[in-house]
Structure 1
Amino acid sequence: MKTNKSLFPFILITSLFFLWGFAHNLDPILIPHLKKSFTLTTVQATLVDSAVFIAYFLMALPAGFIMKKYGYKTGIITGLLIFALGSYLFIPAANMQQYSFFLVALFIIACGLTILETAANPYASSLGDPATSTQRLNFAQSFNGLATTLAPIIGGRIILTKGYTTAQLSVMTEQGRKLALAAEASSVKIPYFILGTVLVIIAIIFAFTRLPRIQQHEGHAASKNIFHALKHRHLAWGVAAQFFYVGAQVCVFSLFILYAPKSADLTEVKATYYLGVCGAAFLTGRFIGTFLMRYYSAASLLAAYAGINILLCVVAILGHGMITVYAVIGICFFMSIMFPTIFALGIKDLKADTEFGSSLIIMSIVGGAILPRIFGYISDITGNIQYGYVVPLVCFAVVAFFGFKGYRVKVQPKDLLVSAIL
């Protein structure tokens, strides 16, 4: 932070990373829970991720316009309130016992998350010395990693342990079994009610807090449309890298509780604990990565981590037993720095294009809606969920390229001339 006045705002901004991380990492609990409650296929269960990440694609541009016209503070408060609304909608969704209602609630939550991420990532990156923006964003994102550790453990204890056993379900009539499974959905009401209430309180705190204004850099004409920002080639590559990275992350985390019982013969509840270990590895990797960036460039570290994950994906595909779980834990460790690093490198030197550049990178999170469904199709068609890890393998290859070459800032002189004219 440049001054002590930035410390409390930075703490508040950092709390947002924890909150949306907690929300996202309840999704891996919801997927097996709703899959069982509504008797879904793997592909149908991945609609949970689709509902969430399609919202990122649809809301990223409106979020950018909100930030550009009304400022970061208004955007953050708006995002928190929409996030809270979606959380409260879990109560009527559970009462009505309709899968589609849950998807709508998740979509609304994700609309709020989109606005928050569009605001908080560039704000945290800009709130201090530009030379340490990547480290600062990685530090803030570390609390997202903390949520990744806690959410599966807490969610697993509250949601997954309150269901019926296979033996209990087997002696019920078909109608009774359907009612029993649907009734399990009610276990989500309390955690989401608490989450929504916390969000409203934090929104009130933001409303009464004075946030430092992020000054635009001089010497760069303001964008008139979203496509102008894509003249920055490193941003275009950043958008692609983030699309594939988020797709990989969602495949790994959201489908872990379906993956581990098949690859290592774990129970679902035990798998939630290992998912918590994945979160701990993710958190540890974030802090270690932030430290290593003092000595190695962010881009080099990104490329190296992505390369290691390609090898770990091979183990996840071909291995048997607990080694597959350990490989996935390793993947979580090495993918820990990827989102904030891609984000920071992608918006570097965008200047007045920063809001639109941020929106484009947030839009690319739609990879989390598309790629897990491909993972699901591969799993259902082959009958082996391990083969689905071909998808993250390809994703990490794209990320490795971005860290190796695509991150380099390069704007053609003619593009700068067009920028000046516009």
Structure 2
Amino acid sequence: MALPSQHSSSVASPPGGTGRSYRPALTLLASLFFMWGFITVINGVLLPHLRSVFELDYTQTTLIESVWFIAYFFASIPSAKLIERVGYQKSIVIGLLIMAAGALGMTVAASLPSYGVTLVMLFVIASGITLLQVAANPYVAVIGPPETGSSRLNLVQAFNSLGTMLAPLFAGYLILGRSRGGTAEAGAQLTQAQRYADAQSVILPYVLVAVVLVVLAIIIARFPLPALGASTQRAAKADRHQHSLWKHRNLTLGIPTMIAYLLAEIGVANLFVNFVSQPDIAAVTHEQASRYLSLLWGGMMVGRFVGSLVMQKVAPERLLGLFAFGALVVVAIATFSTGPLAMWSLIAVGLFHSIMFPTIFTLAIRGLGPLTEEGSGLMIMAIAGGALVVVQGWLADTYGLQNSFFLTMACEVIVLAYALFGSRPTHALPEPEVTPAA
């Protein structure tokens, strides 16, 4: 798969470009990371809401999130081709407008209300996010020195986590707090009229999200983002034919590791509200549980800011191994205990998951040289591994919600093994250079 060469060319800077030259662009990219983190995590609150409105089991509920992540698989290649055709900046604007259209479509789904239309509109929103992901993650990873790529991406991803921390509070208040299902005790039965009224509570928050996305698209359309270096792109394209992606162990093992990580992160986040609201855990309403969910995402934000600083001194693979071991421990405690201990252990998973996505990503594309864009594209497609969360939904229906976290524990072991043994680059190629503008 050929992605646009924002890696091998990387990005053209202003004459005499320095790190400071990119700060305005990185600041703007941080706002994108914030918005797609915000919108993605609204799902963590939306799923228990839709479970109540449509009377879904756990398998049907997690299927909603699976549809979201399937979009990453189907939209990655079209996104890459679009970036090649119209350029980086216009593609970001198009991605934001696609997301806005999907958000408005969610208001239609709520008005009907329709489970099928909800799935389609979430797929549309996720497709827009995919377009942003294909360009933004690798852009940040290679915009500066290769040895600080993980640190840089962790820093910008921290703003993604700021969005994920605020989203449960926003959605908890405007969706769960304004619905009968969100404020009722666990297991309460709703009438048809109550479920229809609850469906309408989705309209206002998604209208607000759509407005913000359109405004952000207008700002970015008028912003002087650095351009891509066309001459360097052509040279890199010729170089790619001389090398094979599959000789790079850190990439070939990084792809399944990213899939495992996404399955762990999404499984914990999507089942958190239902888990915490159980009588033997915290016995709270869904609205109250959504406030605790914001703490989980807040821990992820703190971990990324701290991780960005620590990685200036500590090798990213060593820190990844430490965090993976910590995640394994707290998930095990949440699986085998009850009451507040189980709840706070699951909240702590956010802290230990914090550095995993950006660190796995940068370790996987390390040493790819002119193959960086293809490797990055495969890593973005691996985000579709989040669609496997439906497996955890099936486990929750079949063996119990708490027992389903055995799957999460297995995922943490995979990440730990990658950090210890699989992330060392083989057949490393010279890193791509950033080409200054003429």
Q: TM-score, normalised by structure 1?
A: 0.90
Maintained 8 Å contact 2:367/2:428: no
Offset at residue 229 of structure 1 (A): 3.4
Offset at residue 255 of structure 1 (A): 1.0
* 1:332 lines up with 2:350 in the alignment: yes
Maintained 8 Å contact 2:368/2:428: no
CA distance in 2, matches of 1:230, 1:185: 48
Q: For residue 404 of structure 1, give the secondary structure of its aligned residue in structure 2.
A: helix
CA distance in 1, matches of 2:318, 2:428: 24
Sequence identity percentage: 34
* 1:186 lines up with 2:200 in the alignment: yes
| Structure 1 unaligned blocks of 5 or more | 414-422
Q: Match of 2:174, as an amino acid?
A: I
Q: Match of 1:237, as an amino acid?
A: L
CA distance in 2, matches of 1:283, 1:353: 31
Q: Match of 2:76, as an amino acid?
A: A
Identify, as 1 or 2, the structure richer in helix: 1
- Comparing 119-128 and 1-10, the one that deviates more: 1-10
1:329-359 CA distance string (max 9 Å, x none): 2211011000011111112232332222222
Q: Match of 1:199, as an amino acid?
A: L
Alignment of 1:16-415 (within 5 A): 16-164=32-180, 177-215=191-229, 216=232, 221-223=238-240, 228-262=244-278, 263-370=281-388, 372-382=389-399, 384-411=400-427
Offset at residue 230 of structure 1 (A): 3.7
Q: Match of 1:83, as an amino acid?
A: M
Count the aligned residue pairs.
405
Report the CA distance shift for 1:364/1:96 in structure 2 as closer, same or farther (over 3 A): same
Offset at residue 132 of structure 1 (A): 1.6
1:284-314 CA distance string (max 9 Å, x none): 1111111111221001100111111111111
Offset at residue 136 of structure 1 (A): 0.8
Offset at residue 264 of structure 1 (A): 2.8
1:181-240 CA distance string (max 9 Å, x none): 033111111111111121122222222222223555867845469x95344321111111
CA distance in 1, matches of 2:189, 2:376: 54
Q: For residue 303 of structure 1, give the secondary structure of its aligned residue in structure 2.
A: helix
Q: Match of 2:396, as an amino acid?
A: S
Maintained 8 Å contact 1:126/1:214: no
Offset at residue 89 of structure 1 (A): 0.6
CA distance in 2, matches of 1:223, 1:41: 47
Maintained 8 Å contact 2:25/2:225: yes
Q: Give me the CA root mean square deviation.
A: 2.3
- Comparing 241-250 and 1-10, the one that deviates more: 1-10
Report the CA distance shift for 1:298/1:170 in structure 2 as closer, same or farther (over 3 A): closer
1:57-88 CA distance string (max 9 Å, x none): 11112222333444322332221121111111
Q: For residue 348 of structure 2, give the secondary structure of its aligned residue in structure 1.
A: helix
Q: Match of 2:370, as an amino acid?
A: A
1:416 corresponds in structure 2 to none
CA distance in 2, matches of 1:170, 1:239: 42
Report the CA distance shift for 1:64/1:355 in structure 2 as closer, same or farther (over 3 A): farther
Report the CA distance shift for 1:23/1:222 in structure 2 as closer, same or farther (over 3 A): farther
2:9 corresponds in structure 1 to none
Report the CA distance shift for 1:47/1:285 in structure 2 as closer, same or farther (over 3 A): same
CA distance in 1, matches of 2:84, 2:423: 25
Q: Match of 1:229, as an amino acid?
A: L
Q: Match of 2:263, as an amino acid?
A: G
Q: Match of 1:184, as an amino acid?
A: D
CA distance in 2, matches of 1:220, 1:230: 17
Maintained 8 Å contact 1:17/1:141: yes
Offset at residue 400 of structure 1 (A): 1.0
